[in-house]
Amino acid sequence: MRILVLGGTRFVGYSVAAEGVRRGHEVVCAARGEAGRVPVGARLVRVDRDLEDGLAPLVGERFDAVVDVATISYEWVRRALAAFGDGVGHWAFVSSISAYAEPGSPPSGVGDRLLPPKAVHGTREAMKDDPDLYGSVKVASEQAVTAAVGDKALIVRAGLITGPGDEHDRFGYWPQRLVRGGRVVVPDVGHEIQYIDVRDLAAWLIDGAEQGITGVFDGIGPSTPLPALLTAMADTLGANVEFVRVSEEELLERGVAPWSGPRSLPLWLPASHMYMGSRDAGPALAAGLTPRSLADALAGALDHERTLGVDRQRKAGLTPEDEAEILAG
């Protein structure tokens, strides 16, 4: 197959391209090429999706399948569909569970109410001011895909994506912290959490192209109560730790944020997003999404942590000094 990956130089796009190459497909990556290299065996075509004619370097090329990982721009999606939608046999769009309007309510499936669509070119700065903008752009992009390619579309609303190339430092914080050992601050909560390793998501997206998998799915692994997941991580790693459970109220009083950002505890969900880690993975699993073992997921996360540098300034998590201060209190 000839597969076009719109992206291909970082995280999800890179993993998809690498998996396509591994299976012997001809993979073309359309990207600026500034974020990194494409996998060995893939071909990079430099494009600028911010420009109306930014895909011009691909004019005349035809593809059996397209995988689009566009993150912030409806216009990127629209232009790609206009260029390749008519001739492609399968179109996969990586959306997000951030598209759902009520993450603080128990979910029932992919038919849950979505955020209002916003057909705009978002920016990361704008998304800081409007936390729902990312999800709203994803909704508008999903609608554009289904309108353009119909039943050839695979819409994957991904949850927390982990593994090699992860740029957000959330999942990786925990195995790296656990292998350090000692007393570990954890949130005293019981909510569920989910993740999917990027390599497993990529494999399923290529399966979709090969097998013609279509429809809308929550692309995520099974849910697990957060305390049980952290315990399983520690057991799998053989970590010598003592979990110190701290109430949400005390954490907030001490300036610890849930989920992400400086001085935070990743995977702890605020009440407003309590059910973000409880999506129904059943349909995606039945359609072939196959999560790897926890041991493999942790090994990939730790390798990535070491590649980045374990003493770096993190985008999520507590520093040793932060944690010591909380434990002392």
Query: Under a CB-based contact definition with an 8 Å cutoff, are residues 301 and 163 in contact?
Result: yes
Per-residue pLDDT at 302 exceeds 90: yes
In the chain, CATH 3.40.50.720 sits at: 2-158
Measuring CA to CA, which residue among 15, 37, 41, 12 is closest to residue 28?
A: 41
Between β-strands 316-317 and 261-262, what pairing exists: parallel, antiparallel or unpaired? parallel
Measuring CA to CA, which residue among 105, 190, 205 is closest to residue 153?
A: 205
Q: What is the pTM of this model?
A: 0.96
Tell me how far CA of residue 127 lies from CA of 123, 131, 135, 257, in angstroms. Answer: 6, 5, 10, 18
State whether the Cα torsion 78-80-82-86 is positive or negative: negative
Architecture of domain 2-158 in this structure: 3-Layer(aba) Sandwich (3.40)
Beta bridge partners of 43: 28
Supply the pLDDT for residue 130. Answer: 85
Query: Under a CB-based contact definition with an 8 Å cutoff, are residues 17 and 45 in contact?
Result: no
pLDDT (average), residues 204-225: 98
Which residues lie closer than 8 Å to 318 by C-beta, 6 or more apart?
A: 177, 185, 256, 263, 264, 265, 326
Supply the pLDDT for residue 123. Answer: 64
Distance of alpha carbon 220 from alpha carbon 142, whole angstroms: 18
DSSP 233-288: HHHHHT--EEEEEE-HHHHHHTTPEESSEESEETTPPPGGGTTTT----HHHHHTT
Query: Under a CB-based contact definition with an 8 Å cutoff, are residues 100 and 136 in contact?
Result: no
Q: What is the dihedral of CA 163, 113, 283, 295, to 10 degrees?
A: 20
Per-residue pLDDT at 9 exceeds 80: yes
Domain 173-194+223-278+288-328 in this protein, CATH class: alpha beta
pLDDT in tens, 100-120: 999 999 999 999 999 999 998
In the chain, CATH 3.90.25 sits at: 173-194+223-278+288-328
Residue-wise burial string across 260-281, b where 16 or more C-beta atoms lie within 10 A, e elsewhere: beebbbbbbbbeebbbbbbbbb
pLDDT in tens, 179-203: 999 999 999 999 999 999 999 999 9
Supply the pLDDT for residue 120. Answer: 85
